[in-house]
Amino acid sequence: MTDDLEAWSRPALFLVDEVPTSGVVTLGGPEGRHAADVKRVTPGEVILLGDGAGTRARAEVTSTAKGSVTATIRERRHDEPPAVVITLVQALAKGDRGELAVELATEAGVDAVVPWRAERCVTRWDDGPRGAKALARWRATATEAAKQARRPRVPRVDDPVTTPQLAGRLGGTTPLLLEAAAEESLATVALPEAGEVVLVVGPEGGVTEAETARLVEAGATPVRLGPDVLRTSSAGAVALGALGVRTGRWTR
């Protein structure tokens, strides 16, 4: 098997329902159109096919047609998830800042994203079509960012939660609440060798005292990133970079 990092990170990645172990595969549908009509792959070029769940294959393009690409599987691999998985709880943000937060977090390696209906969120997702449409945009953003980053796994984007719901799901995890005034630093806070770290990022207006109390009662530790205050759209990605180094996720 080719272990060269460039061999598994440079070719364009396209998602399929199942990655074949060998043989010839025809890529159609939206991914086929993207490969043939947008990326304009050519015979002899190597592409990556992935299922978004850890399995990828290097495939050599043999022919192209309008909206489809045919390729031969050359090698296949499966990447196990890291020992420490990270879930980002991202407060809803106005405009496209929520989608930007998901995009940056995905590129930084997040494993799952949970939209949070925090008290000071300006944006409000309802339980009807508008909320479903907004959630679909976050999920599409995660998928496209994972493809751009050549990630073997597409992060899961869950349904939005309220603060009580969030507090209820923190059990059995290591929850970290980003707070600019926190005494504990992300650089020194105790981290597990395995398990789930839940990183909570509040809205632009900050997390209320009541929310902080509720999450701390549920086990969360307030931590600061550094001396500066970051936007809600970038804080998660910056924290993920620090956690990537501290947990060894970036060296495995």
37 shares a domain with 100: no
In degrees and rounded to multiples of 5, residue 10 shows phi and psi of: -85, -45
124 shares a domain with 58: no
- Does any domain span residue 252? no
Non-local (6+) Cβ contacts of 86 within 8 A are: 109, 110, 111, 112, 196, 197, 198, 199, 240, 243, 249
**Average pLDDT value for the chain:** 94
- Tell me what the mean pLDDT of segment 20-25 comes to: 95
Pairing of strands 84-91, 68-78: unpaired
Q: What is the spatial distance between Cα 232 and Cα 195, in angstroms, rounded to a whole number?
A: 25
* pLDDT one-digit tens code per residue, 101-132: 999 999 999 999 999 999 999 888 888 888 99
- Does any domain span residue 251? no
Q: Assign residue 18 the CATH number of its domain.
A: 2.40.240.20
Q: Residue 112: its pLDDT value, please?
A: 98
Q: Residue 125: its pLDDT value, please?
A: 87
**For residue 8, pLDDT beyond 80:** yes
**For residue 1, pLDDT beyond 80:** no
44 shares a domain with 164: no
β-bridge partners, 206 = none
Q: Enter the pTM of the model.
A: 0.93
66 shares a domain with 157: no
Pairing of strands 55-65, 68-78: antiparallel
* pLDDT one-digit tens code per residue, 176-214: 999 998 999 999 999 999 999 999 999 998 999 999 999
Which domain range does residue 206 map to? 84-246
Tally Cβ neighbours within 10 Å of residue 219: 14
165 shares a domain with 73: no
Task: Show which of 50, 78, 106 is a domain's final residue.
Answer: 78
Task: Show which of 78, 109, 134 is a domain's final residue.
Answer: 78
Three-state SS at 129: helix
Q: Which of 137, 121, 120 is nearest to 129 (CA)?
A: 137
Non-local (6+) Cβ contacts of 30 within 8 A are: none
Would you call 215 exposed, middle or buried from its count of C-beta atoms within 10 A (0-12, 13-18, 19+)? buried
Q: Residue 60: its pLDDT value, please?
A: 97
Tally Cβ neighbours within 10 Å of residue 208: 15
Q: What is the spatial distance between Cα 244 and Cα 217, in angstroms, rounded to a whole number?
A: 27
